[in-house]
Amino acid sequence: MSALVSIILAIIVFIVALKILGAVLGLVLGLAVAVLAYFVAEKLIGKGR
């Protein structure tokens, strides 16, 4: 019985860890894309002047 409970707990912890990792990764990727877009926009605006 306790083995089953520990396996279920391990799966829950694993899923939560994956969700947190996904959120952090999404945040970092979003920031990177935003910074990249900002620099591209700056270059385009800079060329336009």
Which pLDDT score, from 0 to 100, does residue 47 have? 75
Question: What integer is the mean pLDDT of 13-42?
Answer: 96
| Residue with token string 């979003």 | 30
pTM over the 0.85 mark: no
Please work out, in degrees rounded to the nearest 5, the angle formed at the alpha carbon of residue 16 by the alpha carbons of 28 and 19.
Answer: 30
